[in-house]
Amino acid sequence: MKNNSIGKIISINKDLYTVMNNNSLFPCTVRGKLKNIKLTVGDNITFNKDTLTIESVEERKNSLIRPLISNIDKLFIVISTHIPSFSSYLLDKFLVLSEYNNIKPIIIITKMDLCTKEELKEIRKYIKYYKKIGYKVYTNKQIKKIKKEIKNSVVAVAGQTGAGKSTLLNKIDKNLNLKTGEVSYSLGRGKHTTRLVELLNTCEGLIADTPGFSSLELDIDKSEISGFFIEFGYECKYKSCTHIKNEGCKVIEKVNKGKILKSRYDNYLKLIKE
């Protein structure tokens, strides 16, 4: 009789797969035909508790790459105001990535303590706008609310190197004890402090600190992108409108009237050009 249990892969180290089942961890290996499938962190699997082998894998609801992680419910998009400086483009790109993969995005702003009064005003304008179009936005001071978002969810944390992802997780749960670092640059590229991806058990949920999905390539059809700018879709009456030419385009009209944030529109144009 096979003694199969269900579990979730929470980390992978070479040929060793750590599987979580009822809050206990099991070091498992893979054999047979499953060896041909690249299993990922976040995979829901069945495994044999006696032999500690993974027997089957469930279909994934989504997968993010670099780092490879699957079955994500929420993406914490960590955006800093300084070092690295605020990038609405990166934020919008992460939002499109979330929408495309059916992951609920949560925007978390860091390093507001480094802002001048003027900069704070600017950042607050963004926060207000993103909230208005339906996104949740927190600052990294709102730890209680962020903790609640983890409960019963599988969360991945995205954001540039140095944005403060690991620092945030350490604030959420000091037992995680993640390594954080000064932003260091070699050959002009940010060097990530966080390397491996694993799901960490905290706040009655699972969260993966990541090196930030650094090479963020969106493999999305051009014509689909406007649908992931959630406030564009219902604005324009022309279903197939790409919002590039003016004639009767409601999106352009709203941008001109200041109802759609200019940066959102500019970032949209930049994305479809890419």
Three-state secondary structure call for residue 112: helix
> Residue 47: which H helix or E strand, with range?
strand 44-48
Q: Determine, following the binding rule CB under 5 A, whether residue 81 of this chain makes contact with Mg ion.
A: no
Q: Tokens at residue 97, please?
A: 């990535």
Q: Determine, following the binding rule CB under 6 A, whether residue 194 of this chain makes contact with ligand GTP.
A: yes
* Cα 238 → chain centroid: 31
Beta-bridged to residue 21, according to DSSP, are 24
Instruction: Pick the closer one to Zn ion by CB: 207 or 260.
Output: 260
For tokens 């180290």, the residue is 13
* Cα 201 → chain centroid: 17
Q: Which does 205 bind (CB under 5 to 8 A by kind): ligand GTP, Mg ion, Zn ion, none?
A: none
Q: Determine, following the binding rule CB under 6 A, whether residue 185 of this chain makes contact with ligand GTP.
A: no
Contact of 97 with 127, CB cutoff 8 Å: no
Three-state secondary structure call for residue 250: helix
What is 31-97 written as a DSSP string? -GGGGGS---BT-EEEEETTTTEEEEEPPPS-EETTTTEE--SEEEEEEESTTTTP-HHHHHHHHHH
Instruction: Pick the closer one to ligand GTP by CB: 101 or 180.
Output: 180
Write the CA distances from 199 to 21, 84, 117, 180, 249, integer angstroms: 13, 25, 38, 17, 44
∠ Cα 29 208 59 (to 5°) = 55
Residues that bind Zn ion (CB under 5 A): 236, 241, 243, 249, 251
Q: Determine, following the binding rule CB under 6 A, whether residue 163 of this chain makes contact with ligand GTP.
A: yes
Residues in contact with Mg ion, total (CB under 5 A)? 4
**Angle separating helix axes 143-150 and 165-172, nearest 10 degrees:** 90
Q: Determine, following the binding rule CB under 6 A, whether residue 212 of this chain makes contact with ligand GTP.
A: yes
Instruction: Pick the closer one to Mg ion by CB: 43 or 209.
Output: 209
Q: Determine, following the binding rule CB under 6 A, whether residue 164 of this chain makes contact with ligand GTP.
A: yes
Applying CB under 6 A, among 70, 98, 193, 267 the residue interacting with ligand GTP is 193
Interface segment toward ligand GTP; rule CB under 6 A; list 10-18, 24-32, 64-72, 159-167: 159-167
Q: Determine, following the binding rule CB under 6 A, whether residue 243 of this chain makes contact with ligand GTP.
A: no
Indicate the residue whose CB is closest to ligand GTP: 164
Q: Determine, following the binding rule CB under 5 A, whether residue 140 of this chain makes contact with Mg ion.
A: no
Q: Which does 182 bind (CB under 5 to 8 A by kind): Mg ion, ligand GTP, Zn ion, none?
A: ligand GTP
Applying CB under 6 A, among 110, 138, 154, 197 the residue interacting with ligand GTP is 110
Applying CB under 5 A, among 194, 207, 232, 235 the residue interacting with Mg ion is 194
Residues at the interface with Mg ion (CB under 5 A): 165-166, 193-194
Residues at the interface with ligand GTP (CB under 6 A): 110-111, 113-114, 140, 159, 161-167, 180-183, 192-194, 211-212
